[in-house]
Chains A and B, each alone.
Chain A
Amino acid sequence: MNKLLSKKGLIVCLTVAILIIVAGAFVAGFVGYNADSTGRNYSSVEVTDAGYSVSDVQDRFVEFCKAEIEKTYAVSDVKVTQTYTTGGMVFTYYVDGTPDRAFCDQLETSIAGCTIEGVNGSLVSVTFHEGKNLGYYNYMWRTAVGAAVAFVLLFAYVAIRFRLGMGVTVLIAGVHDAAVVLAVVALVRLPVSPALAGVGAFALLLSALLNLLVFGRMRSDLRTDEFKGKSAAEAVSESVRNARPTVLLVSVIAAAFVAVFAVVGAFIGFDMTSVMVSALFAVLAATYSSLVLSPALYALIKEKWDAKRAQKAKYNFASEKKKKEDAPAEVAGEIR
């Protein structure tokens, strides 16, 4: 990573990112995100136990019912809820397929004949449901508007306090990171909950933090005499090398946490794993953009602006000569 991306490399990277974002937007727009357990459509078998069993008995009963249901339908998840008023337990088995009344009657008969001590079959009833989830449009739109305003303010602040080119770069990097994360999540069909809006916000804030670490360092470096004689690419590259330890430290801390939680999620509930994998995408995107994409982009902008500035400051020999040639005559005329 010592060398900056070339112009060609930058164009390839940005094109790939745009393709990912467009494909992700297409999938998210037309197919939608893959909802996790809190937002999916479902077919379920619901076993209501009005009796009060101790936790050990309850666990055995849940396993018994699951085994019975799995004879006909694959069970994807089991959810335990408790009725607020009576305290009775409800075990919801999310199944692949569409159960019917006959299946529920058959399950009720099996439960009545079960030999688990402490379970009273006559207090157990079985029913089935089909649920269709309705999306969270308001949450998503409000977060998108909030993020857009945050991006504008981020650009304005960096452009004023740092340099205009840095403001443009931070804005592009922020939009790139948040959009790529959301697009990749849609493309790989990772199950997501409304927490995805939080992951998007996390990507935005992390991208801003890491990019500011790089540009903060660059701002102070570019002021020094040592950097003044260097070309834009050299100066940016060296400054990024100076900022890299801090950026990597923050990224590694974030990535390590997220990875550990993702592994933990594999044991306690897949919803956590899926949201952590989305967050890992955010960490990777922000680290990549702050160390690779943004410096290359800024070097390109700086090179162009430096050239423009040099062009303005350059001594124009031809026009000056012409001026000098015209000047004596005018001066002479004045004397006359």
Chain B
Amino acid sequence: MGKKKSVALIVLVTVVLLGLLFISITPTFPVKTPYSFQSLLNSVRLGADLGGGYGAVYYPEGVISAEEYAGEVARYENGEGTDPTEQYVAHGGVYLDSEKVLDENGEVLESFRTEFETAYRVFKQRFEDKNFTEYSFWIEDDYTIRVEVSDVSDLETVSDMFSILSYSGELYFSDTDTSTNSKNVLMTAGSEHISGVSVMDGGDSGFVVALKLTKAGREKFAEITETLSSSSSSDSSSSSSATLYLYMGTDVLMSMSVSSTLDQDVVYIGGTTSSGSVAYPTRESAETVACVIRSALNEEDVFSLDLQPQVYSYGATMGEHAALIIAVVFGVAVLAMLVFSLVRYKGMGLAHVYGFFTYALIFILCLAFVQGIAVNIAGVFAILLSAAMMVGFNYYAFRNIRKEFYTGKTLTSAIKSGYRKSLAVTIDTHIILFIASLVLYLISLGSAQYMALIFLIGTVISAACTLAVTRFYLYMFLAQPKNKIAFCNFRREETEDE
């Protein structure tokens, strides 16, 4: 590489890296009221352990909280309502309605108990299906359910998510809207008619929920859509399409416009609503609906208990500033590592510094922009492991170059054979770790899955930066110094002949 070309490249790479560094790690500062600059690190989604999340306490119908009971007492004292001391019985920290929950002996009704057991089993399944980075699930005071999940507020409306996941009752298609109490059931939507549910990318119209119909389901769905489309076209007063609702109990899960007969194996529901907004703008919002439908396909999992969530937010479970402290520790350690590299390997260390910055900045870009990434404490391990791998393999290559050089080879030849010597193990290790993390990502759930995704990305970036980028930087810098051997912190003893 020529000197001029090398200078131009050094300047260009330095400017790009500094620019990326600025937008990646600069602390938030106001730009123009009410706007402020947010760094890429700030936009990385965090798990509940590092960034907090949301929780909800679900009260079944007939069970009220102590606060609500106090409200009832106050109402009664103001001359409104019935005497709560007669209607409710204290049970731990909650109050049970003697008419709805208790029998004449003051014991909890067996039917209520069974319904509640089914409800929390199905609930748990729905929350596991949602695959949060973390979630915790408790039965509180015997008859309420407390759930805590990681922060999903940038992906879907939190209150809607908690409400939808608590829907109860049977799943069915109807053409009756919510204003009418008695619903006209056109088709039940249990396992008899639906064999599976998935979420698919609908392009510009957001995400769609795909209902896979059984043979009987397909026939029945074609029949009801034919009836609906023909009735809507014959009714000149209304628009040319009818609306088909998918209900769970008394709540509408989804709705779709029907203008023709739909005789197909898979029905896609989503797109835009009548108000023009996208029904499911994110995969997570569609996944919430899909989880609820999936849980209702098994008839044994259908329950009718009405559960009302009381939603709250909470801070990082690992400490208030856990994420910030982790970032600072990483920063300090990276700085120490870079200083060590420069002192130990000089010119090669400089190439490593540039290579590591490239690696770190691309990693931050991926963490900020790749959909579905959330950094929790296991993700921190993944980042740490992949960074250690990148540093380890660069040093391994440098050590091989040094060894080759001291066998008497020229610097260029030593660099070539040093890299060649470390190539096989570097490629093999990256490939096998890529495969292992891909398998973990595809099969596991929760924190291990999120960790695997981060490590997967880290492995790819580490491979590219170790095998190509750092080596390229090394050649770029080597074009500059007069004494290239001293630049690489090598010494060559000169013989008398020389």
Contacts and interface: CB of A to CB of B under 8 A. Distances in A.
A, B: real partners = yes
Contact of A153 (B314, B316, B439): B439
A209 interface: yes
Interface stretch (A249-257, A294-302, A306-314, A328-336): A249-257
B396 A246 contact: yes
B313 A271 contact: no
B70 A125 contact: yes
A145 B431 CA distance: 20
Contact of B124 (A134, A261, A268): A134
A152 to B, nearest CB: 9
B138 A139 contact: no
A330 B392 CA distance: 67
B11 interface: no
Given A209-B385, A271-B49, A134 B138 contact: yes
Interface in A113-169: 125, 127-134, 136, 138-139, 142-143, 145-147, 149-150, 153-154, 157-158, 161-162
Contact of B451 (A139, A201, A212, A267): A201
Interface in B331-350: 333, 337
B313 A81 contact: yes
B75 to A, nearest CB: 15
A79 B138 contact: no
A281 to B, nearest CB: 12
Interface residues on A, range: 35 or more
Interface stretch (B35-43, B265-273, B365-373, B420-428): B420-428
Interface residues on B, range: 35 or more
B67 interface: yes
Contacts of B424: 216, 219-220
Interface stretch (A7-15, A20-28, A61-69, A190-198): A190-198
B428 A216 contact: yes
Nearest to A247: B392
Interface hub of A104, A131, A162 (most chain B Cβ within 10 A): A131
A202 interface: yes
A80 B70 CA distance: 22
A84 interface: yes
A145 B310 CA distance: 36
Given A154-B432, A194-B134, A268 B311 contact: no
A288 B415 CA distance: 32
Contact of B436 (A142, A208, A220): A208
A162 to B, nearest CB: 8
Contacts of B378: 195, 197-199, 201-202
Interface string A213-252: 1001101100000000000000000000000011001100
Interface in B295-330: 310-322, 325-326, 329-330
Contacts of B158: 84
B140 A139 contact: no
A6 interface: no
A81 B377 contact: no
Contacts of A204: 436, 440
A205 B395 contact: no
B151 interface: no
B311 A85 contact: yes
A269 interface: yes
Contact of A257 (B134, B138, B322, B333): B333
A59 to B, nearest CB: 12
B137 interface: yes
A100 B340 CA distance: 60
B134 A131 contact: no
A41 B337 CA distance: 43
Given A138-B128, A143-B448, A265-B319, A250 B313 contact: no
Contacts of A51: none
Interface of A: 37-39, 41-42, 46, 48, 79-85, 90, 101, 104, 125, 127-134, 136, 138-139, 142-143, 145-147, 149-150, 153-154, 157-158, 161-162, 193-195, 197-202, 204-206, 208-209, 212-213, 216-217, 219-220, 245-246, 249-250, 253-254, 256-258, 260-261, 264-265, 267-269, 271-272, 275, 279
24 contacts: A38-B317, A80-B315, A85-B159, A85-B311, A101-B90, A130-B93, A131-B141, A131-B146, A133-B138, A142-B445, A194-B447, A195-B447, A197-B378, A198-B448, A201-B448, A245-B399, A246-B399, A249-B395, A250-B391, A253-B384, A254-B385, A264-B329, A268-B322, A271-B49
Given A153-B439, A197-B447, A268-B319, 17 more contacts: A48-B67, A81-B312, A81-B313, A82-B312, A82-B313, A85-B159, A132-B138, A133-B138, A146-B440, A162-B428, A193-B49, A195-B376, A202-B378, A204-B436, A205-B455, A216-B424, A219-B425
